[in-house]
Amino acid sequence: MAGRVEGKVAFVTGAARGQGRSHALRLAQEGADIIAVDLVGQIDSVPYDMSRPADLEETVRQIEALDRRIVAKQADVRDFDALKSALDDGVAELGKLDIVSANAGIFSFGTMEELTETEFDDMLAVNLKGVWHTAKAAIPHLRANKGGSMVLTSSTAGILAVPNIGHYVAAKHGVVGLMKTLALELADDFIRVNSVHPTSVNTDMIQNAATYALFAPDLPEAERTKETVGKRFQTMNVLPIPWVEPVDVSNAVLWLASDESRYVTGLQLKVDAGQTLK
Amino acid sequence: MAGRVDGKVAFITGAARGQGRSHALRLAQEGADIIAVDIAGSIPGMDRFYPGATQDDLDETVARVEALDRRIVAIKADVRDFTALKDALDSGVAELGHLDVVSANAGVFQFGDKTEDVSDEDWDTVNDINAKGVWHTAKAAIPHLKQQGTGGSIVLTSSTAGIMGTPNVAAYTASKHAVVGIMKTLALELAPFSIRVNSVHPTGVNTQMIRNEATYRLFLPDTPHPTDEQAEEVFRTTNALPIPWVEPVDISNAVLFLASDEARYVTGLQLKVDAGYTLK
């Protein structure tokens, strides 16, 4: 049986690990070739270890093990020229572009009055401006392709506010505005644009000491385990689970990327275990 | 390769034709057995809009599902009659063994009157089928899903008219907004049982419900006998994507996604299949 995105080429940002790697793998399992970019480096205002070159190499290895092609480059979504040249190289090598997953993102926290200039600027630069850069670099290729599907990664924090992450909430709400505008601007060219809105996802972005401290400030550090913190995370959801897995978001991205959703545009697709119902 | 809903049993209302038949076929193609109900008869107050589904239509759904080598139990039932609907579902579950997926799809479309001119009879017909019928469908299904203890997925068919206002379509718009309220409430009530509840929101779908002269005239009030071409042109202006309407299978692919384990943690979602209609 043909894969659900057989023969398509997908551009995935933040593809070294976490959701981005999962999206690349899920799309490749269903027949897509991949253009992967990642910063593979640290941003100082981010309170957990970000991806490393070895992570991106591992994504490449796993895609190639599925017998799909991948072009992987180090690129920072904040740097439009670098991002564009990485994508252009990938398209030159793989022949075209059908799918875009604007996934690269960071997480940090602090109340609105505590946040520093740097924390705020880094957040907006990566999680919002980086998404715009990704779309801007991709649009000419998608127009040349006479259609395509763009999936922007927002969050439940793109729908409702959560205390202590105002800059993240602002950036993820901004992604929704960008998605709706792009959907209108690109509809005539049959380029569909949608967003995904995950609740917490079981990746390094939340499974780290800094995030555990945010969720369980009352517990001594030694007692902040995946299990105890998981119970705190679970109170945010309606379904009785602490977080979803990366593949759950990838399955949403896959559906939006495939021709099964050929007339779906402007959709905020929540994968949120009911978090936004509360 | 295993189907995406292999081994599941799906209950579909309004399955004789149109979207309901398409949902039954798409789910069966991906491995589900089907419990199908339809009123399969004319509905007082509806004939001036478009003809009702028939027993022949329901028989055709049965034949097509069986041609896919899946099992189907098809029973004539009106979603307004809770006892009849429950009996139909209960006998389907008795025969097929369990229930995993519910598509509350049965619906009617009436239009043309200003809100102040809608008659009580018309209001009741639309809301009894489109809103109360959806509640009945969920109410009949929930005991089966809870008793099995294996979760489940309920998909309620709303509309772009469940998100936005539509002039001269008051009863339908109210009924489809009500479906959203039912969906959100059910999603909260059933989450502890891992039963997911979501809605789908199509733009115009290429079925008899809109492909009729009466509906064309809603969009082209000054044209006595609008043609298909004129209708396509005016329907296209309602969407952002340059298409007049979507096909039933496009809604079925959304229902399939929500029904499958690919969406295992998706609940409370309004899934628009609307070609950007609601962006405008």
pLDDT per residue as tens digits for the range B106-130: 999 999 899 999 999 999 999 999 9
CA distances in angstroms from B162 to A197, B122, B176, B236, listed in the order given: 21, 18, 4, 20
Question: pTM (2 decimals)?
Answer: 0.95
The shortest C-alpha distance from B244 to chain A (Å) reads 11
CB of B155 within 8 A of CB of B101? yes
B279 contacts A260? CB cut-off 8 A: no
Beta bridge partners of A34: A10, A70
For residue B1, name the pLDDT band (cuts at 50, 70, 90): low
Q: What is the pLDDT of residue A2?
A: 86
Of the listed A48, A168, A212, A263, which one is catalytic? A168
With a CB-CB cutoff of 8 Å, which residues 212-251 of chain B face chain A?
239-243, 246, 250
* pLDDT at position A98 over 90: yes
Name the average pLDDT for chain A.
97
Q: What is the pLDDT of residue A222?
A: 95
**pLDDT tens-digit readout, B219-252:** 898 999 999 999 999 999 999 999 999 999 999 9
A35: three-class secondary structure by DSSP:
strand
- When pLDDT is averaged across residues B43-64 and rounded to a whole number, the result is 95
A262: three-class secondary structure by DSSP:
coil
Could you tell me how many CB contacts below 8 A there are between chain A and chain B? 112
Structural domain of B267: 9-207+248-279
- When pLDDT is averaged across residues A100-120 and rounded to a whole number, the result is 97
- Domain membership of residue B29 (yes or no) is yes
Which residue segments constitute the domains of chain A, with CATH numbers given? Answer: 9-203+245-277 (3.40.50.720)
* Cα A162 to Cα B21: distance, rounded to the nearest angstrom: 42
- Domain membership of residue B233 (yes or no) is no
Provide CB contacts within 8 A for A146, sequence distance 6+: A189, A190
Q: What is the pLDDT of residue B51?
A: 92
* pLDDT at position A1 over 80: no
- Domain membership of residue B193 (yes or no) is yes
Q: What is the pLDDT of residue B77?
A: 98
For residue A223, name the pLDDT band (cuts at 50, 70, 90): very high
Give the residue from chain B lying closest to A271, CA to CA: B266
Cα-Cα-Cα-Cα dihedral of A217, A222, A223, A224, to 10°? 50
Of A242, A239, A162, A252, give the one whose Cα is nearest residue A201: A242
Residues in A touching B280 (Cβ below 8 Å): 184
State the pairing for strand pair A191-198/B72-76.
Answer: unpaired
Give the residue from chain B lying closest to A26, CA to CA: B262
- When pLDDT is averaged across residues A46-75 and rounded to a whole number, the result is 98
- Domain membership of residue B219 (yes or no) is no
With b for 16 or more beta-carbon neighbours within 10 A and e for fewer, the A22-34 pattern comes to bbbbbbbbbbbbb
**pLDDT tens-digit readout, A117-162:** 999 999 999 999 999 999 999 999 999 999 999 999 999 999 999 9
Does residue B172 have an active-site annotation? yes
Q: What is the pLDDT of residue B218?
A: 87
With b for 16 or more beta-carbon neighbours within 10 A and e for fewer, the B84-111 pattern comes to bbbebbeebbeebeebbbbbbbbbbbbb
DSSP H or E stretch at residue A120: helix A117-124
* pLDDT at position B86 over 70: yes
B268 contacts A272? CB cut-off 8 A: yes
- Domain membership of residue B227 (yes or no) is no
In the sheet where B33-38 sits, what is the strand order? B72-76, B33-38, B9-13, B101-104, B152-157, B195-202, B270-273
- When pLDDT is averaged across residues B100-105 and rounded to a whole number, the result is 98
Q: What is the pLDDT of residue A169?
A: 97
- Domain membership of residue B243 (yes or no) is no
The percent of residues in chain B predicted with pLDDT above 70, rounded, is 100
B240 contacts A187? CB cut-off 8 A: yes
Q: In this complex, is the C-beta atom of A273 within 8 Å of any C-beta atom belonging to chain B?
A: yes
Q: What is the pLDDT of residue B91?
A: 98
Q: What share of chain A is helix, strand, coil (3-state, %, to 5)?
A: 45, 15, 35
Domains identified in chain B, total number: 1
A166: three-class secondary structure by DSSP:
helix
Of residues B188, B266, B272, nearest to A264 (C-beta): B272
Task: Supply the Cα-derived Rg of chain B in whole angstroms.
Answer: 18
With a CB-CB cutoff of 8 Å, which residues 146-185 of chain B face chain A?
184
- Domain membership of residue B83 (yes or no) is yes
Q: What is the pLDDT of residue A100?
A: 98
The CATH number of the domain where B184 resides is what?
Answer: 3.40.50.720
- When pLDDT is averaged across residues B122-151 and rounded to a whole number, the result is 97
Q: In this complex, is the C-beta atom of B2 within 8 Å of any C-beta atom belonging to chain A?
A: no
The shortest C-alpha distance from A221 to chain B (Å) reads 30
**pLDDT tens-digit readout, A4-59:** 999 999 999 999 999 999 999 999 999 999 999 999 999 999 999 999 999 999 99
- Domain membership of residue B146 (yes or no) is yes
Q: Please work out, in degrees rounded to the nearest 5, the angle formed at the alpha carbon of residue B138 by the alpha carbons of B132 and B141.
A: 140
